[in-house]
Amino acid sequence: MSKKFDVVVIGGGPGGYVAAIRAAQLGLNTACIDKWIGKEGKGVFGGTCLNVGCIPSKALLDTSHKYEEAKHDFDLHGISTGEVTVDIAKMLARKDQIVKNLTMGVATLFKANGVTGLEGVGKVLAGKKVEYTPHGGEAELIEAEHIIIATGSVPFNIPPAPLTEDIIVDSTGALEFTSVPEKLGVIGAGVIGLELGSVWMRLGAKVTVLEAQDKFLHVADSAVSKEAQKLFTKQGMDIRLGARVTGSEVKDGKVTVTFQEGGEEKSETFDKLIVAVGRRPFTEGLLAADCGVNLDERGFIHVDDSCQTDAPGIWAIGDVVRGPMLAHKASEEGVMVAERIHGHKAQMNYDVIPSVIYTSPEIAWVGKTEDQLKAEGEPYNVGMFPFAANGRAMAGNQTDGFVKIVAHAETDRILGAHIVGPNAGDLCQQVVVAMEFGSSAEDIGMMVFAHPTVSEAVHEAALAVNNAAIHKANRRPKK
Ligand code: FAD
Ligand code: AMP
């Protein structure tokens, strides 16, 4: 007799494991299948995010940030150290331990909530049946009232730069360099390319980023992308815009990359090359032809606003469906779907999803950019406040960047926030909370912010929307 569950989740990343936990909390008999094999050769839950994404990249960003501070910033404070060195093996071991603790944490949460964790491959069959093949075992059939697909994404590969064992690598390989490359090439100036490029640059690599687009960080607000480009360039990152990679050749332990830049063919030789040109939804071997789930023209599973696929009772969430490829977007969709299965009318606000780039300084934004509002013909006001005028930022030598808030010109409702600077991710979250409550810029202006905090830059930017900032001159004094 086949096993039967109320909910079977396929994929145990931040979309799938969160969906499974929430479904179990709501009293649904839930299983979560994941095929990931961890570094110790055993099945683990946590997906891309915990194993090779958000968490290990932040662990390396943290180590490299501390190293850079010790090497370059301590002197400013009058602190002298001996020679500062970094033990790469120890850095990688620390990262691996954090990954292990977190993935074990998911298994513990499954136990605590009564989720059945199944290690192996899942396939969606017709009639809401799932074929489950345990690692090294025989396929078995599982019946489900509801199926949630959360199979995530994998890195894009591009024909001009096929991956090799250890010279041309994707983001996963870039988390494992055993020494600091002297010259590092990065294809793609997206979030992942900038974060991993920053890690190795801080540790001493000479980093060149080749980006096909003419505009740096084209998805960000123009003021943010201009400031970020200026700051990364000042840090020593060689950012080549309008540079489309057309080929690569590995020879004598190095890689020579050819690219088109300004109508000319150019080439550069690197010790390592990271290919960070984006990610694609992963559905290989997942869907039986007659299961009723369809893909869209870009290979994502087709879903409606509430993550329902074209097959009743089958849902899909996270990187495998439309929308930004972000762990928190995947998790919130997971909660929404679990609650909908339970009968609630949960909805997710896709207009207020924050994006953060964990470089130094951090970059974060939420809502509409000024360029988008212009294009939509929406009347808006802008308030900006530089960290150079914030006392706490000065005390910490973190004065680069600004907070920019855009609000509707007639209603004053906050439409977006765009931040480059210290703790930009956490500051942006303050605006996320405000936006979820439909706050106006004046509302934030009337709140009390602790002094001295970098948060005061959010307060001042909100005040500046209506020309009422205190610690900078306002452009148009209020009558
Ligand atoms: P995934 O995390 O990809 O999980 C999918 C899971 O499904 C995997 O475990 C896979 O093994 C499993 N699976 C697939 N097919 C099957 C099958 N047929 N049977 C069983 N199991 C299957 N996002 C952020 O929000 N913040 C960040 O700072 C951030 N940093 C990142 C850094 C890097 C280097 C990378 C690569 C990504 C980063 N991301 C970040 C993106 C984030 O990791 C993804 O958005 C997130 O993991 C998506 O979650 P998911 O649950 O949809 O899929
Ligand atoms: P993201 O999708 O945010 O991870 O960013 C990936 C980046 O890689 C995008 O900005 C693309 O323009 C860039 N990209 C894609 N293909 C190439 C290529 N062949 N050469 C250089 N950059 C590329």
Cis check for the bond before 361: say yes or no (omega within 30 of 0).
yes
> Is residue 29 in contact with ligand 2, taking CB distance under 6 Å?
no
- Please report which confidence band the pLDDT of residue 262 belongs to, taking 50, 70 and 90 as the band edges: very high
Report the 10 Å Cβ neighbour count for 389. 18
Q: What is the mean pLDDT of residues 55-63?
A: 98
Strands (E), 276-389: 279-281, 314-316, 355-357, 362-367, 380-386
Atom of ligand 2 nearest to the CA of 259: 20
Calculate helix-pair angle for 191-202, 54-68, nearest 10 degrees: 40
Positions of CATH 3.50.50.60 in the chain? 3-155+280-348, 168-277
Helices (H), 316-369: 327-342
- Determine the average pLDDT of the residues in 140-153: 98
| Correct CATH for 168-277 of 1.10.3720.10, 3.50.50.60, 2.60.40.10, 3.40.50.2000 | 3.50.50.60
**Do 299 and 307 contact (CB within 8 A), yes or no?**
no
Q: Which of 21, 44, 57, 151 to mutate to test the pocket of ligand 1 (most atoms within 8 A of CB)?
A: 151
Mean pLDDT for 55-66 is: 98
Q: What is 352-465's CATH topology?
A: Enolase-like; domain 1 (3.30.390)
Separation between Cα atoms, residue 141 and residue 4, nearest integer Å? 9
Nearest ligand 1 atom, CA 11:
7
Q: Which residue has 């997942």 as its token pair?
A: 286
Task: Provide the pLDDT confidence category of residue 39 given band limits of 50, 70 and 90.
Answer: very high
How many angstroms separate the alpha carbon of residue 350 from the centre of ligand 2? 24
Catalytic residues, by residue number, are 451
**What's the pLDDT score for residue 2?**
78
The percentage of residues in the chain with a pLDDT greater than 70, rounded to a whole number, is 99
Read off φ and ψ for residue 240, nearest 5 degrees.
-110, 105
pLDDT in tens, 404-452: 999 999 999 999 999 999 999 999 999 999 999 999 999 999 999 999 9
Is the CB of 323 within 6 Å of ligand 2?
A: no
pLDDT class for 91, splitting at 50, 70, 90? Answer: very high
Q: Which residues contact 328 (CB under 8 A, 6 or more apart)?
A: 14, 353, 354
Cα 46 to averaged position of ligand 1 atoms, centre (Å): 8
Q: Which ligand gives the minimal distance to the CA of 213? A: 2
Average pLDDT, the chain: 97
354-395: pLDDT as tens digits: 999 999 999 999 999 999 999 999 999 999 999 999 999 999
pLDDT attached to residue 475: 74
CA distance 19 to 192: 25
Which residues does a 6 A CB cutoff place in the pocket of ligand 1?
Answer: 10-16, 33-36, 47-49, 52-54, 57, 121-122, 150-153, 171, 192, 282, 286, 318-320, 325-328, 330, 358
pTM for the full predicted model: 0.97
Closest residue (by CA) to atom 4 of ligand 2?
278
Length of the chain: 479
pLDDT given at position 188: 98
Whether 1 shows a pLDDT value over 80: the answer reads no
Mean pLDDT of 141-148: 98
Kindly tell me if the per-residue pLDDT of 86 is higher than 90: yes
- Of the candidate CATH numbers 2.60.40.1110, 3.30.530.20, 3.30.70.100, 3.50.50.60, the domain formed by 3-155+280-348 belongs to 3.50.50.60
Whether the per-residue pLDDT at 242 is higher than 60: the answer is yes
Cα-to-centroid distance, 410 and ligand 1 (Å)? 41
Q: 478 falls in which pLDDT band (50, 70, 90)?
A: low
The number of the ligand nearest the C-alpha atom of 15 reads: 1
Q: Which residue owns the Cα nearest ligand 2 atom 16? A: 277
- Res 19: pLDDT: 98
The ranges of the chain annotated as CATH 3.30.390.30 are: 352-465
pLDDT tens-place string over residues 275-310: 999 999 999 999 999 999 999 999 999 999 999 999
Structure tokens at 437: 């409550």
